[in-house]
Amino acid sequence: MSALIETRDLWHVYSDGTVSLRGVNFKAMRGEVTVLLGPNGAGKTTLLLHLNGLLKPTRGEVLFEGKPVSYDKRNLTELRRRVGFIFQNADDQIVAPTVWQEVAFGPKNLGLSDAEVAERVREALNWVGLEGFEERLCNMLSIGERQKLAIAGVLAMHPDVILMDEPTASLDNFGLNSVLNVVRRLKAEGKTLIISTHDIDFAFRVADKFVVLHNGKIVHNGSHLPLETARKFGLRMFDALWKR
């Protein structure tokens, strides 16, 4: 089985000289949930930004369906149509004043007709449980509702791959379960998911594959994650339960 999206010898150096990724060889298989783990600053978000074409590699390449990504406008548009990115902070993702406009934004940019856009918006809002919210102002939504809106905004584009950057950060247990349901439903629909988190509990409940990043390198890659490896690389664990 070949990878749907992958990187080869990926390096990224920010303009201030910070080396964020050091020769990362990453693969995500079609239909799988790949969880990126690692402490803060490990390079998880940087890697995700490369997979959607929002960052260009300093060295190395990103491949989608076996073909290297080229950074001209047409190819980037096609990549971003197939690979959706849900930001860590929903506020960073919301660009429109009202809920309807926010969800319609992506489909509109794909050149769909007004009728198709309206249908996709209706579908996406129903999917996340925000039907009836169409005319609400985005800044009047709660954090959980904004999170759902961010998901709906990406789902409306019908991507094949969904990148989620720390989707459980700042959520309570109800929010966490809501995200779990979303991930499971998306997987059941055949989507490929790549999720970054440092929440082991969440990772264990959704992952088909664990990839651990540390200092810009992959230090573990497999379908199992030994707890000692997790502890060694600073991942948040249910220590309270362990100590009992």
Partner 1 sequence: MHAKKVVKGDLRVYFCIFSLFTTALCPKFHVHLASLLVFSTLSAHAAGLRNYTAVLKLPLTFFLPSALVLTLLPVGGGGVCEGVLLSLGPLCVTKAGLNLALRTSLRAFASFSVLCYLILTTSVVEVFAALRRFRIPRFIVELVVFIYRIIQILLEELERLERAADARLGFRSRRTMLKTVSLLAFSLFVSGMRRVEKMEQALNARCYAGEIPFRAEESRGWLVVLPVVSLLLLGCLSPCSLVFP
What does the binding site for partner 1 look like in residue numbers (CB under 8 A)? Answer: 49, 52, 54, 76-77, 80-81, 84-85, 87, 89, 91-98, 100-101, 104-111, 114, 117-118, 134-135, 137-139, 153-154, 157
**Is the CB of residue 213 less than 8 Å from the CB of residue 20?**
no
To partner 1, the closest distance from the beta carbon of 156 in angstroms equals: 9
Q: Which of 35, 30, 39, 27 is nearest to 203 (CA)?
A: 35
Minimal distance in Å, beta carbon 122 to partner 1?
11
Judged by beta carbon, residue 7 or residue 52, the one nearer partner 1 is 52
Tell me how far, at minimum, the Cβ of 11 lies from partner 1, in Å.
20
Q: Based on the number of CB atoms within 10 Å of its own CB, is 21 exposed (0-12), middle (13-18) or buried (19 or more)? A: buried
Q: Closer to partner 1 at the Cβ: 10 or 103?
A: 103
Q: Closest distance between partner 1 and the C-beta of residue 128, in Å?
A: 16
Token pair in block for residue 173: 């247990």
Shorter beta-carbon distance to partner 1: residue 41 or 234 = 41
What is the chain's percent helix, strand, coil content, to nearest 5?
40, 25, 35
Query: Are 125 and 134 within 8 A, CB to CB?
Result: yes
In the complex with partner 1, the residue whose CB is nearer, 70 or 181, is 70
